[in-house]
Structure 1
């Protein structure tokens, strides 16, 4: 799946979230993913939180990619959030996270899951792209930058 093909609708992007904790951030991502998938918000949150408990999904440089596989999911779902302030997310470089891209895949989608995570990580490894994502003013521009 190419970045352009990622299922990231505008309604699954939140810019300038006032969240101040990892829990609040995961709850907001779960809420957006619940709207786009129809899966209960609490269930999505629990899956994302369980994955974080295994080890932080923060990549460093202010970026995290929370992810989980869910048996009741029919297809991949993605949500993105930019926080107003850095969130402590146990990043390997100790830097607070402001850019979150959450990924849910069907339980059977192991290979697809890894490919999507790899593509997102490679995109967000670009310094200039991260700076643009932090500065852009609207959801459509954020989405376009992330997926192009």
Structure 2
């Protein structure tokens, strides 16, 4: 599975405003649950919070990849969020986060999940891409940037 297969303009939130990491995880949970009617936003939220307790998914450079395993899911759900204002996220570099690629993965998904996380991390190591994502507010354009950028 590739990032390109997961992102469409409908799964991009280009100007989210939120006041805390917890509230942001709630926004992410609701967005991911909207992608698949069989998913519970509460279960997604609890999974994301449990993962964050293990260690922040903030990679640095203002990027985070919150993710969690969800029972009852048959496919990976993704949402890309661009925050209107950066938010403290306990990232490894201590800097706030403004770009997030969030995932809800099926409970049984293992090596594919890890490959996907690696692909996303590699994509977000591209400083030019990060700059373009930060300077684009249109959901369609953001989805295009995410899906056509390859390493």
**Alpha-carbon distance in 1 for matches of 2:121, 2:87:** 18
| 1:35-59 alpha-carbon deviations (Å, 9 max, x no partner) | 1122111111111111001100000
Deviation, 1:137, is 2.2
Q: Distance in 2 between matches of 1:112 and 1:17?
A: 29
Report the counterpart of residue 74 of structure 1 in structure 2: 74
Shift in Å at residue 20 of structure 1?
2.1
* Structure 2 residue runs without a partner (length 5+): none
Distance in 2, Cα, partners of 1:145 & 1:22: 25
Task: Please give the residue correspondences for 1:131-146 in structure 2 after superposition, counting only pairs within 5 Å.
Answer: 131-146=131-146
* Structure 1: runs of 5 or more not aligned: none
How many residues align structurally? 147
Aligned mates of 1:89, 1:75 — CA distance in 2: 27
Superposed, which structure 2 residues align to 1:1-148 within 5 Å? Answer: 1-5=1-5, 7-38=6-37, 39-148=39-148
Q: Give the Cα–Cα distance (whole angstroms) in 2 for the partners of residues 101 and 3 of structure 1.
A: 10
Q: Distance in 2 between matches of 1:2 and 1:15?
A: 21
**Separation in 2, partners of 1:25, 1:136:** 20
4+ long deviations beyond 4 Å:
none
- On the 8 A contact 1:11/1:32 being kept in 2, the answer is no
What's the TM-score once normalised by structure 2's chain length?
Answer: 0.93
Task: State the distance in 2 between where 1:82 and 1:32 align.
Answer: 13
Deviations 1:91-110 (A, max 9, x none): 11111000011011111110
TM-score normalized with structure 1 length = 0.95
- Is the Cα contact below 8 Å between 1:8 and 1:77 reproduced in 2? no
